[in-house]
Amino acid sequence: MLAPTPHSSAARAALCPVLEARRLTLDYQGERGPVRAVEGVDFTLEEGERLVLLGPSGCGKSSILKAAAGFLKPSSGAVLLNGKPVHGPGPDRIVVFQEFDQLLPWKSVLDNVAFPLRVAGKLSAAAAREKAATALARVGLTRALDQFPHTLSGGMKQRAAIARALAMEPAVLLMDEPFAALDALTRLQMQRDLLDIAQERALTLLFVTHAIDEAVLLGTRLHLLSAHPGRTLARFETAGFDAADIGTLRFEKAVQDVHATLFGATEGGR
Ligand SMILES: Nc1ncnc2c1ncn2[C@@H]1O[C@H](COP(=O)(O)OP(=O)(O)OP(=O)(O)O)[C@@H](O)[C@H]1O
């Protein structure tokens, strides 16, 4: 079941959001002057929720994620983490990007995952490697611990990047189209595996995609953005689908509802 939700609900207000965007407006300095990427976007993300930002190319999804990561300063409004404004990056927010070159090429897979744990200063070298090995086992990379990134497939690289993020146990996991560059079969498998892990660990996830089926599968809530500059178009709450629901009438209906909202708005706006 997928239903548009009102902007706030008593149940949601009772929970403290881990991440919150308040009237978030983001601008870039382009070559021909300022470019408004996002305007006045509000959302909350509570612990254990998976919020998906969905919208057409250029609507500002990645910009919102960058602001949440602390890489991009709001022109107005704010991003709050546990109630405090975000002023820069931190180990409480780990980003997994689309690109396959996120790993350090001169380190093994195991060391790539262990390294940030050491830098964060939380663990001894032995404990960091043990934690890294556990995270890599969870994403199915036990046999690749000693391999170097250039010997991995794209899917394996993304699995390693996800393991690295999981090992850090961030307050919020930020994912920017992490499966977009994968072939269709690998993408589906990765979506299923991520969903399993997210459910098992009650991950708090902010996920960016332009793929409607991916959004409906992975999200507990969807935040739809209008075309450039991105403004809030609609919000949907899913009842929480899992991989077995793909292809069912219920799932396809949800996909159609989101599609109609996105494309109805686009066509109407032309
Ligand atoms: N560094 C930059 N300098 C100037 N403009 C930028 C910069 N980065 C993004 N933009 C502009 O901001 C707008 C939003 O870009 P953003 O990458 O956030 O969109 P998106 O929804 O993630 O797009 P896509 O789905 O294609 O990745 C676009 O118009 C883009 O051209």
Compute φ and ψ for 77, nearest 5 degrees.
Answer: 75, -170
Question: pLDDT of 90-113, one tens digit each?
Answer: 999 999 999 989 999 999 999 999
Centre of ligand 1 from the C-alpha of residue 72, in Å: 12
Distance of alpha carbon 229 from its chain centroid, rounded?
Answer: 20
Q: Are strands 221-225 and 76-81 parallel, antiparallel or unpaired?
A: unpaired
Q: Whose CA is nearest to atom 1 of ligand 1?
A: 28
Distances (CA, A) of 236 to 1, 58, 233, 262: 10, 21, 10, 12
What pTM was estimated for this model as a whole? Answer: 0.92
State the closest ligand 1 atom to the C-alpha of 38, by its place in the atom list counted from 1: 14
Q: Is the CB of 85 under 6 A from ligand 1?
A: no
Per-residue pLDDT, 44 = 97
State the closest ligand 1 atom to the C-alpha of 65, by its place in the atom list counted from 1: 18
Q: Is the CB of 149 under 6 A from ligand 1?
A: no
Cα torsion through 80, 83, 85, 89, rounded to 10? -70
Q: Is the CB of 26 under 6 A from ligand 1?
A: no
Peptide linkage before 229 cis (omega within 30 of 0): yes
Q: Is the CB of 34 under 6 A from ligand 1?
A: no
Q: Whose CA is nearest to atom 31 of ligand 1?
A: 58
> Which residue from 25, 28, 98 has its CB within 8 A of the most atoms of ligand 1, so it is best to mutate?
28
Question: pLDDT of 166-199, one tens digit each?
Answer: 999 999 999 999 999 999 999 999 999 999 999 9
Distance CA 112, CA 225 (A): 35
Q: Is the CB of 226 under 6 A from ligand 1?
A: no
Segment 210-233 mean pLDDT: 95
State the closest ligand 1 atom to the C-alpha of 30, by its place in the atom list counted from 1: 4
Classify the complex by whether its ipTM is higher than 0.95, answering yes or no: yes
78 neighbors 24 (Cβ within 8 angstroms): yes
